Amino acid sequence: MKATKIGPDPLRLQLAAQQEERRRIAQELHDTLLQGFTGIGMKLDALATSLPPALSKAKEQLRQALEQMDQCLGETRRSIWNLRSPTLEGTEDLSRALLTASQRGLAGTTIGVSFSVQGAPRKIGNVLEHHLLRICEEALANVVKHAHATRVAVVLDFTSREVQLQIRDNGRGFEPISWEVSKRGHFGLLGIKERVASLFGMLSVDSAPGRGTRLLVTIPTQGAPRVNAPGISENRCIPAAVRA
Residues 96-136: pLDDT tens digits? 889 988 988 888 889 999 999 999 998 888 788 888 988 99
Stated length of the chain? 244
What is the number of other CB atoms lying within 10 angstroms of the CB of residue 163?
A: 23
Nearest to 198 by CA among 162, 165, 239: 239
pLDDT at 202: 95
For domain 92-236, is the CATH number 3.40.50.150? Answer: no
Instruction: Please write the tens of the pLDDT for every residue from 181-196.
Output: 444 444 467 778 888 9
Q: How many CB atoms lie within 10 A of CB 99?
A: 18
Q: What is the pTM of this model?
A: 0.60
> CB–CB of 153/167 below 8 Å?
yes
pLDDT, position 237 = 31
Domain map (residue ranges) of the chain: 9-85, 92-236
